[in-house]
Structures are given as structure tokens and as C-alpha cells.
Amino acid sequence: MNSAVYAPPRLKAGTLRVIPIGGLGEIGRNMTSFEIDGKILIVDCGVLFPEEHQPGVDLILPDFGPIRDRLDDIIGVVLTHGHEDHIGAVPYLLKLKQDIPLIGSNLTLALIEAKLKEHRITPYTLAVREGQHEKLGPFDLEFIAVNHSIPDALAVAITTSAGVVLHTGDFKMDQLPLDDRITDLRAFARLGEAGVDLFLSDSTNADVPGFTAPERDIGPVLEAVIAKAPRRVIVASFSSHVHRVQQVLDAAHVNGRRVAFMGRSMVRNMGIAADLGYLKVPNGVLIEAKKAADLPDDKIVYMSTGSQGEPMAVLARMANLEHQIEVGKGDTVILASSLIPGNENAVYRVINGLTKLGANVVHKGNAKVHVSGHASAGELLYCYNILRPKNVLPVHGEYRHMVANQQLAIRTGVPEENTFLGEDGTVFDMRDGEVEVVGQLDLGFVYVDGSSVGEITDADLKDRRILAEEGFVSIFVAIDPQTGAVIVGPEIHARGFAEDDRVFDSVKPMVIKAISDAAANGTRDTHAFSQVIRRTVGRWVNQSHRRRPMIVPVVIEA
């Protein structure tokens, strides 16, 4: 969607303004602002991971523009669960104002506190659990247990004078979860009976028919794969997927193997989960990675990061022979995760690399080693029928997911005019349970590139892509400032261009003529001459070689 940008009107007293700052039209950067009577509540503050067309970028943050000048009005940030796409941008928000309160479950807060410690930030936190009510200024909050691929996930019901909003966070309706903590449909039903004015629902699997398979289906498959593995087993998963790590620990234990955690985030997060009792570690199963090399190959399982093909994560480094563990014939690699849209090429590149080294690569495409953490269409239909929401705003998903979610709502009887397809920066106002679109803010991507935040622009990334794909041509010319005559040059050099520099001999007379013509027309400014050279060389390269390299003219006065 490319909606025209227009400013919303001044917010009236008693009206709730909802602005999705991130997470609409993308899998990541989840962040929503709720404002009423001068106070702002934020739900989630996550990151998006870069794709191949964003070279050099480490993370992508939500655009804090709508709240940057309102930090003193933020009364809290509710974190629905501990995944990076929901908590990863919190350090960057708290760098703007460190005492914004963070509200979440024990595990969620423990994971974000560990992350903030690396940024030397000690947050102000409020731990909550399902069934708990908290009043923050004009917001009455009720926290509801939801089942997801990480323990302790919460939905939040937000009651204001303008109406009741239910935000699911990420959820599914696994009826046999590993931790016996199901999505609290009784609470959903109670809210539905009282009346939900606006339902913000996870859209990730809305286009998947039926029901998401239970986590318990995975355990026996992992056990069987590990039992048949002749040598080492390497399992890659998200570093916060506690349920999957639990199953790997149990499967290794049954098969008489020990487990070593690989990757800083995996070691940190699983240590936290074990300390808080969310991860039950069988006695004697864990071993330090550096000691694991002393064990026989058929007695070890490595639990690593890198299931999305991230170039710096453990698995990609193994595939590139850049890790101390050298994968070889007889090793088994299990990718125990789904593919985040946009990561397919990177993941298949890692799979191909590992296969080439002789490993047996087991993934979701050839074995049931992962189930999604998100509700499929059947589960969402149940939710709509239980809640009977007055208005619906699909969130958390690419555009196709949100459209599918909208259609499910309509099929269950929500009037089409009460279903809203927004994008990041769409402004919704709700008053007396009535919702309308009142504005569209211009929100962009904020890139983290090394130590810089927000300094890299889309234009910079375009330049990087051109450099990577089309090459670089530099032209040096020294001219007489009085006449514009060429005294030295043009000297032309190229990088990332297949041909020898001599290929440019035929364009040099064209450059001299273009400069001469410009001088005859009164041009004396070196910048203007640079533009003339860029156009001349660019046109020639495009016509002669079908290329569009980056062209950098350097013109000096001699």
C-alpha cells in the first residue's frame, strides 16, 4: 500500500488514537501506539532483520517519529513476549529516555533486561502475569495467557473511555502445549460477552487453512532423527525458542547424547530460561562447547543459532568453513524453524553449503521438525466467533496475510466497513466504539549499521546495491578554469567491471567534446562539468555495455 500522506486532526478528549508504528506489511518491527487524554501506551517495540537488498544493515528499527517528541507522555511499554521482533528495539527507545516503564511477564522482562545490560541501561520494569489487572493513567490493562513458541506470552486488553481494545500479540491455540499453558479462550469469551470494540489480531498464518499442528508432534520426530544420526547432530533454531530447545534436550537425553549451546544469544537466553524454571534441563545433559569436542561424535548435539541463514550466525559460518566445528560427511543438521519471508535465499544457500560438505540436512520441507507459533485460519475463525469484535485491524504480517485475516473476519459476520487494512503510520481514531481512519504518517525504515542508527538512508543502500551489482567507474579530469579546456585526462578507471580499462578509450573523445561544448556555452563550474561527464559516460556505458555502474567524476581546476 502506498497511501497518500496526510496529517491527522488534533486529538479530541475521550478519543483513543491508535498508530501502528511497525509490523503492518512486514514480519517484524512490531510496535503500536495508543494515545488518549494526553497519555501514550506502547505495545511491543521490535526489530526487523534485513534482507539481501539491504547490504551492510544489521537491524531495522521502527520509525519513532510519532512519539519522539512525546517521550514524557509515554506511561509504559507493554511487551507481549520475548521474541526479537517484539522486544529488539527497546534499547534504542530507552536510549531516548531511560525511565520509560517496561511491562511484561517474568521471562520477557528477563530477556530484555539481559539485552539492555549490554547497552548499559537498567530499566524500570513491572512484572505481570495472566489474569492480572493494572491501571496506567487512562488505560486499564488486563493480561491474558496466550500460547506461542516462547513461554509466558500475553495478550493485552486495553480499556479506555473510548472503548475496549484487545491486542493478541503473537499467539496460536495449541491444545496440548509443552508447558500446559493454553490460550485462555474463557477470558476471550468473557471479553467478547462484555464487548470488544477493536480487535488487533496476529495475521502471520491467516492464509494457512486449518489448524497449526501441536508442538508435541515435534518431539518424537527429533528423537527419531537423532537416534539415526551416525555422527554429530547440529540443531539450529531461534535463540529464544525455549520449547524447541526443551525438545532437543529431551531427545538428546533419550539418545544418550549431551548438548552444547552455540552462539552468544543462545547461551544467554537458555541460561535465563533455565534459571527461571521455563527450561527443564535433564541432569548431566549440558556441556560447555569447548569441552564437547572431547566427546565421541555420536554422543553430542550442538544447539545453535542461524536457522534464518544470517551470515554471522553459527550455522552460516559452519557452512562457509569459518567455524571451529567443521561439518562433514555423516553429520546431521536440523533446521528447527520456519522460514521468515525474505530469508529463503539465505537459508537455501546455507542448506546447499552444508549438503556440499556432506551433511544430512533435515528441515521443515523434508521432516516435521518445526511447527509454527502462529494461529492458522481455523484458529482465527474460532477467535472471531468467540469475541464477535465490533471492529477489526489485522496486524503482524505481510499485506497478503492481513488481507486473508480481514476476509476471515468478514466471513464470521464482521461488517466489511468495520475491518481496516492499515500500514505503518496509518492513524485510527476510536470514540464510543466507532473507528475511523483519520491520517497517514510518513514512516520509513530506520537502519542500524554498525554503530550508526538512522544515518544510513535508502539512497545509501541503493548506492551499495549499484556498487555490488553494476560496479564503479571513476573519471579524473583537470581543466583550465578560464577556457574550460582539458589539460589532463580524462583518466578513467573501473572496479567490478569485467572489461579492461582500455575499453574506455572510445568514450574519452566524447568526454572531451562534451566538456568543450559545455565550456562554449559558458560553463565554468566544476560541479556542472562533473554532471556533464556523468551523463556522457553513463549514456555510453548503458548503450555499449548494458550496465548502470556508479559513475564518480572528479574535476579539478589546473
Mean pLDDT across the chain: 87
Do 386 and 441 have their domain in common?
yes
Residue in the block written with cell 521455563: 278
pLDDT 10s digits, 333-380:
888 877 666 667 778 888 888 888 888 888 877 778 788 889 999 999
Q: What is the pLDDT of residue 79?
A: 97
Is 347 part of any domain? yes
Q: Print the domain residue range for 545.
A: 471-557
Unique residue bearing C-alpha cell 528441515: 363
Number of H helices, E strands in the chain: 16, 25
**Both 430 and 318 in a single domain?**
no
Query: Residue 536 and residue 464: Cα distance in Å, rounded?
Result: 22
pLDDT at 55 over 60: no
Q: Which of 329, 362, 395 is the last residue of a domain?
A: 362
**Structural domain contains residue 383:** yes
Looking at residue 548, its pLDDT comes to 74
- In this predicted structure, the answer to whether residue 468 has a pLDDT above a threshold of 50 is yes
Task: Assign 492 a pLDDT band (cuts: 50, 70, 90).
Answer: confident
Q: Is 149 exposed, middle or buried (0-12, 13-18, 19+ CB in 10 A)?
A: buried
- DSSP classification of residue 524: -
Per-residue pLDDT reduced to its tens digit, 507-550 = 787 877 787 777 777 777 777 778 888 888 878 777 777 777 77
Q: How confident is the model at residue 56 (pLDDT cuts 50, 70, 90)?
A: low
Query: Same domain, yes or no, for 30 and 159?
Result: yes
Q: Is the pLDDT of residue 259 over 50?
A: yes
Region 288-309: mean pLDDT is 84
Please state the rounded mean pLDDT for residues 432-456.
79
Q: pLDDT-derived band of residue 36, with 50, 70 and 90 as boundaries?
A: very high
Please determine, for residue 261, whether its predicted confidence score (pLDDT) is greater than 60.
Answer: yes
The SS3 assignment for 273 reads helix
| 55 within domain boundaries | yes
221 and 204: one domain? no
Q: Which of 84, 129, 176, 192 is nearest to 371 (CA)?
A: 176
Instruction: Please name every residue paired with 333 in a beta bridge, in sequence order, or none if there are none.
Output: 234, 361
Position 158 in a domain: yes
- Whether 231 and 102 map to the same domain: the answer is no
Residue 215: phi and psi, rounded to 5, are -60, -30
Distance CA 190, CA 386 (A): 9
Average pLDDT over residues 151-177: 95
Q: What is the CATH number of the domain that holds 138?
A: 3.60.15.10
| Domain containing residue 476: CATH number | 3.10.20.580
Work out the pLDDT band at 103, boundaries 50, 70, 90.
very high
Question: Grid coordinates representing 184?
Answer: 485462555
10 found inside a domain: no
pLDDT at site 155: 97
Least confident of 202-206, 217-221, 489-493: 489-493
Q: Is the pLDDT of residue 395 over 80?
A: yes
> What is the pLDDT, as a whole number, of residue 1?
47
What would the pLDDT profile of 59-71 be if each residue is shown by its tens digit? 788 999 999 999 9
Instruction: Report the pLDDT value the prediction gives residue 121, as an integer from 0 to 100.
Output: 92
- Judged by DSSP in three states, 183 sits in coil
Name residue 429's beta-bridge partners.
Answer: 17, 436
pLDDT > 70: what percent of the chain?
Answer: 90
167 pLDDT above the threshold of 80: yes
Same domain flag for 39 and 158: yes
Kindly state whether residue 2 falls inside one of the protein's structural domains. Answer: no
Nearest to 251 by CA among 228, 231, 230: 228
Q: Where residue 106 falls among pLDDT bands split at 50, 70, 90?
A: very high
186 shares a domain with 60 = yes
* CB neighbours of residue 482 within 10 Å: 9
Q: What is the DSSP letter of 215?
A: G
Do residues 239 and 214 lie in contact, with contact meaning Cβ atoms separated by under 8 Å?
Answer: no
For residues 271 and 232, membership in a common domain is answered with yes
Residue 307: the pLDDT is: 65
The pLDDT, as a whole number, for residue 349 is: 84
- How far apart are alpha carbons 468 and 132 in whole angstroms? 53
Any idea which residue has 468478514 for its cell? 410
What's the alpha-carbon Rg for the chain, to the nearest Å?
A: 28
Whether residues 124 and 256 share a domain: the answer is: no
Lowest mean pLDDT among 17-31, 257-271, 361-375: 361-375
Residues 6+ apart with CB under 8 A from 18: 32, 33, 34, 165, 198, 393, 427, 428, 429, 430
Domain count for the chain, please give it. Answer: 3
Residue 479 · residue 557 · CB < 8 Å:
yes
Do 99 and 188 belong together in one domain?
yes
Average pLDDT over residues 433-449: 87
Report the C-alpha dihedral over residues 389, 43, 264, 106, rounded to 10 degrees.
Answer: -80
User: Is residue 461 included in any domain, yes or no?
Assistant: no
Q: What is the pLDDT of residue 107?
A: 95
CATH number at residue 346: 3.40.50.10710
User: Is residue 44 located within the same domain as residue 182?
Assistant: yes
Instruction: Kindly report which listed range (8-22, 254-268, 408-422) carries the lowest average pLDDT score.
Output: 254-268
For residues 553 and 491, state if they share a domain.
Answer: yes
Grid coordinates in use for 264? 552468544
Q: Is residue 368 a part of any domain in this protein?
A: no
Asked whether the predicted pLDDT for residue 499 surpasses 70, the reply is no
Concatenating the DSSP letter of every residue in 470-512 gives H-EEEEEEEE-TTT--EEEEEEEEEES-SS-GGGGGGTHHHHH
Rounded to 5 degrees, what are φ and ψ at 160? -135, 175
pLDDT of residue 465: 60
